[in-house]
Chain A
Amino acid sequence: MNIEPTGSVDAAIQGALGRKLRESWEEVVKEEVPKKFTVLLEQLKQAETSSSGFARSDNDGGERQD
Protein backbone atom coordinates (compact mmCIF):
# COMPACT_ATOMS: atom_id res chain seq x y z
CA MET A 1 0.00 0.00 0.00
CA ASN A 2 2.94 2.29 0.41
CA ILE A 3 3.11 4.70 -2.44
CA GLU A 4 6.29 6.63 -2.88
CA PRO A 5 5.48 10.32 -2.91
CA THR A 6 6.16 12.11 -6.13
CA GLY A 7 8.42 15.12 -6.22
CA SER A 8 5.51 17.50 -6.45
CA VAL A 9 3.84 16.00 -3.40
CA ASP A 10 7.07 16.52 -1.51
CA ALA A 11 7.22 20.08 -2.75
CA ALA A 12 3.65 20.61 -1.60
CA ILE A 13 4.49 19.13 1.78
CA GLN A 14 7.45 21.46 2.09
CA GLY A 15 5.18 24.36 1.21
CA ALA A 16 2.75 23.34 3.93
CA LEU A 17 5.61 22.97 6.41
CA GLY A 18 6.89 26.41 5.52
CA ARG A 19 3.49 27.94 6.15
CA LYS A 20 3.22 26.12 9.46
CA LEU A 21 6.66 27.33 10.46
CA ARG A 22 5.76 30.94 9.73
CA GLU A 23 2.40 30.56 11.45
CA SER A 24 4.14 29.23 14.54
CA TRP A 25 6.65 32.10 14.45
CA GLU A 26 4.05 34.80 13.77
CA GLU A 27 1.97 33.65 16.68
CA VAL A 28 4.79 34.58 19.06
CA VAL A 29 5.66 37.76 17.15
CA LYS A 30 2.06 38.95 17.42
CA GLU A 31 1.84 38.35 21.15
CA GLU A 32 1.55 41.52 23.16
CA VAL A 33 5.01 42.44 24.40
CA PRO A 34 5.07 42.20 28.21
CA LYS A 35 5.50 45.52 30.00
CA LYS A 36 8.72 44.42 31.64
CA PHE A 37 10.60 44.98 28.40
CA THR A 38 9.67 48.65 28.05
CA VAL A 39 10.30 49.10 31.77
CA LEU A 40 13.76 47.63 31.28
CA LEU A 41 14.54 50.00 28.42
CA GLU A 42 13.39 52.95 30.51
CA GLN A 43 15.72 51.84 33.29
CA LEU A 44 18.62 51.52 30.89
CA LYS A 45 17.95 55.00 29.54
CA GLN A 46 17.66 56.53 32.98
CA ALA A 47 20.80 54.85 34.26
CA GLU A 48 22.60 56.44 31.38
CA THR A 49 21.27 59.98 31.65
CA SER A 50 21.60 60.11 35.42
CA SER A 51 25.22 59.03 35.48
CA SER A 52 26.40 59.96 32.00
CA GLY A 53 27.51 56.67 30.63
CA PHE A 54 27.83 54.78 33.86
CA ALA A 55 25.79 51.91 32.50
CA ARG A 56 27.79 51.69 29.32
CA SER A 57 30.14 48.82 29.06
CA ASP A 58 32.55 47.62 26.49
CA ASN A 59 32.15 44.12 27.69
CA ASP A 60 30.59 42.36 24.75
CA GLY A 61 31.86 38.96 25.69
CA GLY A 62 28.63 37.64 27.07
CA GLU A 63 30.29 36.38 30.21
CA ARG A 64 28.35 38.31 32.76
CA GLN A 65 25.62 36.53 34.52
CA ASP A 66 23.70 36.92 37.77
Chain B
Amino acid sequence: MAAPDFEQSLVAAIPHLRAFARSFANDPARADDLVQETLVKAWNSRDSFTPGTNFRAWLFTILRNVYFSQHRKLKREVDDPDEQYQNSLAVQPEQYGYLDLADFRTALAKLPPDQREALVLVGAEGFSYEEAAEICGCAVGTIKSRVNRARNRLVELLDDPDLKGGASESAAEAGQRGRLVKDAARG
Protein backbone atom coordinates (compact mmCIF):
# COMPACT_ATOMS: atom_id res chain seq x y z
CA MET B 1 0.00 0.00 0.00
CA ALA B 2 1.35 3.44 -0.89
CA ALA B 3 2.42 5.44 2.14
CA PRO B 4 -0.32 8.10 1.93
CA ASP B 5 -3.06 5.46 1.57
CA PHE B 6 -1.58 3.47 4.37
CA GLU B 7 -1.49 6.50 6.62
CA GLN B 8 -5.05 7.42 5.75
CA SER B 9 -6.31 3.92 6.48
CA LEU B 10 -4.36 3.87 9.72
CA VAL B 11 -5.89 7.15 10.88
CA ALA B 12 -9.37 5.91 10.01
CA ALA B 13 -8.81 2.75 12.03
CA ILE B 14 -7.65 4.48 15.22
CA PRO B 15 -11.13 4.81 16.79
CA HIS B 16 -11.72 1.10 16.26
CA LEU B 17 -8.32 0.16 17.62
CA ARG B 18 -9.08 2.23 20.70
CA ALA B 19 -12.35 0.38 21.21
CA PHE B 20 -10.67 -3.00 20.76
CA ALA B 21 -7.84 -2.02 23.12
CA ARG B 22 -10.44 -1.09 25.74
CA SER B 23 -11.53 -4.73 25.81
CA PHE B 24 -8.00 -5.75 26.82
CA ALA B 25 -6.87 -2.92 29.05
CA ASN B 26 -9.71 -1.57 31.05
CA ASP B 27 -7.91 1.59 32.02
CA PRO B 28 -8.38 3.97 29.05
CA ALA B 29 -4.85 5.36 29.37
CA ARG B 30 -3.35 1.89 29.22
CA ALA B 31 -5.60 1.04 26.31
CA ASP B 32 -4.34 4.09 24.43
CA ASP B 33 -0.73 3.10 25.13
CA LEU B 34 -1.54 -0.20 23.54
CA VAL B 35 -2.93 1.56 20.47
CA GLN B 36 0.14 3.77 20.18
CA GLU B 37 2.46 0.82 20.24
CA THR B 38 0.24 -0.90 17.68
CA LEU B 39 0.49 2.12 15.37
CA VAL B 40 4.29 2.12 15.58
CA LYS B 41 4.44 -1.57 14.86
CA ALA B 42 1.94 -1.33 12.02
CA TRP B 43 3.81 1.58 10.47
CA ASN B 44 7.17 -0.19 10.68
CA SER B 45 5.86 -3.43 9.26
CA ARG B 46 3.51 -2.03 6.67
CA ASP B 47 5.26 -3.95 3.91
CA SER B 48 3.88 -7.12 5.44
CA PHE B 49 0.29 -6.05 4.81
CA THR B 50 -1.21 -7.84 1.83
CA PRO B 51 -3.25 -5.40 -0.27
CA GLY B 52 -6.79 -6.56 -0.81
CA THR B 53 -7.01 -8.24 2.58
CA ASN B 54 -8.86 -6.77 5.53
CA PHE B 55 -6.74 -3.90 6.81
CA ARG B 56 -8.56 -3.58 10.10
CA ALA B 57 -8.21 -7.29 10.79
CA TRP B 58 -4.47 -6.95 10.14
CA LEU B 59 -4.27 -4.09 12.64
CA PHE B 60 -6.32 -5.93 15.23
CA THR B 61 -3.97 -8.88 14.94
CA ILE B 62 -1.02 -6.60 15.62
CA LEU B 63 -2.73 -5.01 18.62
CA ARG B 64 -3.43 -8.44 19.99
CA ASN B 65 0.19 -9.50 19.54
CA VAL B 66 1.41 -6.34 21.23
CA TYR B 67 -0.91 -6.95 24.15
CA PHE B 68 0.04 -10.58 24.63
CA SER B 69 3.76 -9.99 24.28
CA GLN B 70 3.53 -7.35 27.01
CA HIS B 71 1.36 -9.57 29.10
CA ARG B 72 3.77 -12.46 29.00
CA LYS B 73 6.49 -10.12 30.16
CA LEU B 74 4.50 -8.67 32.99
CA LYS B 75 3.71 -12.18 34.19
CA ARG B 76 0.39 -11.07 35.57
CA GLU B 77 2.18 -8.88 38.08
CA VAL B 78 -0.27 -6.15 37.37
CA ASP B 79 -3.74 -6.77 38.40
CA ASP B 80 -7.08 -8.25 38.50
CA PRO B 81 -8.44 -6.44 35.46
CA ASP B 82 -12.02 -7.04 36.48
CA GLU B 83 -11.51 -5.31 39.74
CA GLN B 84 -9.73 -2.40 38.10
CA TYR B 85 -12.48 -2.01 35.60
CA GLN B 86 -15.17 -2.02 38.21
CA ASN B 87 -13.33 0.62 40.18
CA SER B 88 -13.14 2.79 37.11
CA LEU B 89 -16.83 2.23 36.47
CA ALA B 90 -17.79 3.29 39.93
CA VAL B 91 -17.10 6.91 39.05
CA GLN B 92 -19.30 7.06 35.98
CA PRO B 93 -22.76 6.10 37.04
CA GLU B 94 -24.59 7.57 34.06
CA GLN B 95 -27.85 5.94 33.21
CA TYR B 96 -28.51 4.53 29.76
CA GLY B 97 -32.08 3.43 29.35
CA TYR B 98 -33.41 0.41 31.17
CA LEU B 99 -30.18 -1.51 31.18
CA ASP B 100 -27.42 0.71 32.41
CA LEU B 101 -24.48 0.74 30.02
CA ALA B 102 -22.16 0.70 33.02
CA ASP B 103 -23.84 -2.48 34.28
CA PHE B 104 -23.45 -3.99 30.87
CA ARG B 105 -19.76 -3.15 30.79
CA THR B 106 -19.25 -4.55 34.25
CA ALA B 107 -20.73 -7.82 33.08
CA LEU B 108 -18.66 -7.71 29.89
CA ALA B 109 -15.50 -7.22 31.94
CA LYS B 110 -16.35 -10.32 33.95
CA LEU B 111 -16.35 -12.58 30.93
CA PRO B 112 -13.32 -14.80 30.39
CA PRO B 113 -10.98 -12.79 28.14
CA ASP B 114 -11.15 -15.19 25.19
CA GLN B 115 -14.95 -15.10 25.24
CA ARG B 116 -15.06 -11.32 25.56
CA GLU B 117 -12.66 -10.95 22.67
CA ALA B 118 -14.68 -13.23 20.39
CA LEU B 119 -17.93 -11.48 21.29
CA VAL B 120 -16.48 -8.03 20.70
CA LEU B 121 -14.91 -8.94 17.36
CA VAL B 122 -18.07 -10.52 16.01
CA GLY B 123 -20.86 -8.73 17.84
CA ALA B 124 -19.45 -5.22 18.12
CA GLU B 125 -16.89 -4.69 15.39
CA GLY B 126 -18.81 -6.90 12.97
CA PHE B 127 -16.07 -9.23 11.80
CA SER B 128 -17.17 -12.52 10.29
CA TYR B 129 -16.47 -15.67 12.31
CA GLU B 130 -13.75 -16.45 9.79
CA GLU B 131 -12.07 -13.08 10.19
CA ALA B 132 -12.31 -13.28 13.98
CA ALA B 133 -10.76 -16.74 13.88
CA GLU B 134 -7.88 -15.42 11.82
CA ILE B 135 -7.31 -12.51 14.18
CA CYS B 136 -7.31 -14.82 17.20
CA GLY B 137 -5.32 -17.56 15.51
CA CYS B 138 -7.89 -20.25 16.25
CA ALA B 139 -10.51 -22.36 14.49
CA VAL B 140 -13.80 -20.89 13.29
CA GLY B 141 -15.68 -23.37 15.49
CA THR B 142 -13.76 -22.14 18.50
CA ILE B 143 -14.86 -18.56 17.82
CA LYS B 144 -18.48 -19.67 17.42
CA SER B 145 -18.47 -21.54 20.68
CA ARG B 146 -16.75 -18.67 22.50
CA VAL B 147 -19.37 -16.24 21.21
CA ASN B 148 -22.17 -18.54 22.32
CA ARG B 149 -20.71 -19.06 25.74
CA ALA B 150 -20.10 -15.32 26.07
CA ARG B 151 -23.75 -14.56 25.27
CA ASN B 152 -25.07 -17.09 27.73
CA ARG B 153 -22.69 -15.97 30.43
CA LEU B 154 -23.62 -12.32 29.91
CA VAL B 155 -27.28 -13.09 30.49
CA GLU B 156 -26.38 -14.96 33.67
CA LEU B 157 -24.19 -12.14 34.91
CA LEU B 158 -26.79 -9.49 34.20
CA ASP B 159 -29.35 -11.61 35.97
CA ASP B 160 -27.20 -11.72 39.09
CA PRO B 161 -28.19 -9.11 41.67
CA ASP B 162 -24.60 -9.16 42.94
CA LEU B 163 -23.26 -7.93 39.62
CA LYS B 164 -21.84 -4.81 41.15
CA GLY B 165 -20.92 -6.32 44.50
CA GLY B 166 -22.97 -3.89 46.58
CA ALA B 167 -26.02 -3.59 44.41
CA SER B 168 -28.87 -1.76 46.04
CA GLU B 169 -31.94 -3.72 47.01
CA SER B 170 -34.15 -1.98 44.51
CA ALA B 171 -31.74 -2.74 41.70
CA ALA B 172 -31.62 -6.33 42.81
CA GLU B 173 -35.39 -6.53 42.90
CA ALA B 174 -35.79 -4.98 39.49
CA GLY B 175 -33.48 -7.61 38.06
CA GLN B 176 -31.36 -7.17 35.01
CA ARG B 177 -33.23 -9.82 33.07
CA GLY B 178 -36.39 -7.80 33.60
CA ARG B 179 -34.63 -4.77 32.23
CA LEU B 180 -33.28 -6.75 29.33
CA VAL B 181 -36.76 -7.94 28.50
CA LYS B 182 -38.01 -4.36 28.62
CA ASP B 183 -35.12 -3.30 26.43
CA ALA B 184 -35.94 -6.09 24.05
CA ALA B 185 -39.58 -5.07 23.98
CA ARG B 186 -38.65 -1.51 23.12
CA GLY B 187 -36.75 -3.06 20.27
Contacts and interface: CB of A to CB of B under 8 A. Distances in A.
A and B part of one assembly: yes
Interface of A: 5, 9-10, 12-25, 27-31, 33-34, 36-38, 40-41, 44-45, 55-63, 65
Nearest to A29: B15
B87 interface: no
B69 interface: yes
B90 interface: no
The list of the 9 closest CB pairs from A to B, nearest first, reads: A12-B184, A25-B124, A62-B69, A16-B183, A28-B19, A16-B184, A62-B65, A29-B15, A57-B44
Interface residues of B, number: 49
B101 A23 contact: yes
Contact of B66 (A19, A25, A30, A62): A62
Contacts of A61: 69
Given A20-B101, A65-B70, A13 B19 contact: no
Nearest to B123: A21
A38 B184 contact: no
Contacts of B101: 20, 23-24, 27
B52 interface: no
B45 A37 contact: no
Contacts, number: 114
Given A62-B66, A65-B70, A41 B43 contact: yes
Interface in B23-63: 32, 35-36, 39-41, 43-45, 48, 62
B45 A12 contact: no
17 contacts: A12-B184, A12-B187, A15-B184, A20-B101, A21-B108, A24-B104, A27-B101, A28-B19, A28-B22, A29-B16, A33-B15, A33-B18, A40-B39, A41-B7, A41-B39, A44-B39, A59-B44
Nearest to A66: B37
B181 A65 contact: no
B61 to A, nearest CB: 10
A39 to B, nearest CB: 10
